[in-house]
Amino acid sequence: MQKCPHCGSANVRKSRRYKAERTLLRPFPAWFRCRECRKRFVGTDWPLARRWAAGAAAVVGVMWLGAVVWPEGGQPGGQPTPAAGAIENVPDDAHLPVLDVELTGEALRAAAGRGDPEAQHRLGLELLQTFREGGDPAVLAEAVHLLKEAAGRGNPRSQLVLGALYENGRGVIQDFREAVGWYRRAAENGEAEAMLRLGLMAEAGRGMDRDLVEAYVWLNLAAARGATEAEIRREAVRRQLTPQQVARGQDRCRALDTRIPPLPSR
C-alpha cells in the first residue's frame, strides 16, 4: 500500500500533473497526492510493478520447467547441481536484509495509549480512513482526539493534518483561525506543506488579515523546501509587491530560515 511520506496517511491518489523520474531505486515511479496533507510526492506504481513481476515470474517458471524436463543434452530426468563451495563461500558476518517492523492493531493502540505521539498520529490516520469507509462519527471523533494529542506533543505531521481538518471543517467546526494556528506550528517545525498552506491563507486573508508580504515569506520558505506548488504561487504574489516589499519579505525569510529546524527524514 502506498503511503504519504509526509504525514503517513494511506489515503493517497495518483497525480498526473508531473512526470516522475525513473531511477535504479524506483524503476516504476509515479506522482501521488495525499488527501490528508495535500502534499505531492513520488512513489512506486505498485500495480504496474506487480504486473511486471508476474510476467517475469511466468518467464522464469517456463525456463525452470524447461531446465527440469529437458536438462543438458535434451535428456529428461537431470537435476541441477549447486556449484561446489557456493554455500561455504558466504562470509560468516553476512546479514540478511531485515524489513522495518511497524506497530499495528493492539500494539499500535497500546503505544498511542501510553502517549507516544507517532503512534497517536498513525492511529489517528487509520481511524480517519476507517471513518471514510464506515461513516461512524465516534471513529471520527477518536481520530481527531488522537491527532490533537499528537499535535500537542509536537508532532508536525499531526499539526499539519489538524490544520487541514480545521480548514475544511472535517470532524471539527470549520475555523480558519484555528487552522492558521496549527499550520503555523507545523511550519515552524519544518513542514513544507504547512508553509504552503500558511502562505495561501495569508494571500486569501483566511484566518488572518490579508498580507501579501506574509504570503510571500511562507511561500518562499515552502518552495525552498521542495513544495513545487509554492513556486508558482510565490511568483504570482511577488508580481503584486513593490521591490521594497520583496526585499523586506526576503529579509524575514532569511531570519526565519535560521530558526526553523530541518524536518527529520521519515
Residue 114 is assigned to a structural domain of this protein: no
Phi/psi region, residue 77 (left: phi>0; alpha: psi -120 to 50; beta: rest), is: left
Helices (H), 117-211: 117-134, 137-152, 156-168, 176-188, 192-204
Residue 115 domain-assigned?
A: no
Determine, yes or no, domain membership for 128. no
Residue 64 belongs to a domain: no
* Number of structural domains found in the chain: 2
Partner residues linked to 29 by β-bridges: 44
Question: Is position 133 within any domain?
Answer: no
Predicted pLDDT of residue 209: 95
Provide the pLDDT for residue 17: 52
CATH number at residue 218: 1.25.40.10
Amino acid type, 262: P
Does residue 92 sit within a domain?
no
Walking along the chain (266 residues) 10 residues at a time, the average pLDDT comes out as 69 62 60 70 67 62 52 48 38 33 74 88 90 89 94 94 95 96 96 95 96 97 92 95 97 95 68
Question: Edge-to-edge strand order for the sheet containing 29-34?
Answer: 12-14, 29-34, 40-44
pLDDT at 252: 96
**Residue numbers of the domain that contains 167:** 154-259
Q: Find the distance separating the first CA and the last CA of the chain, reported in whole Å.
A: 16
Q: What is the pTM of this model?
A: 0.64
- The pLDDT value recorded for residue 48 is 64
Task: Tell me if 106 is assigned to some domain.
Answer: no
Residue 16 lies in a domain: yes
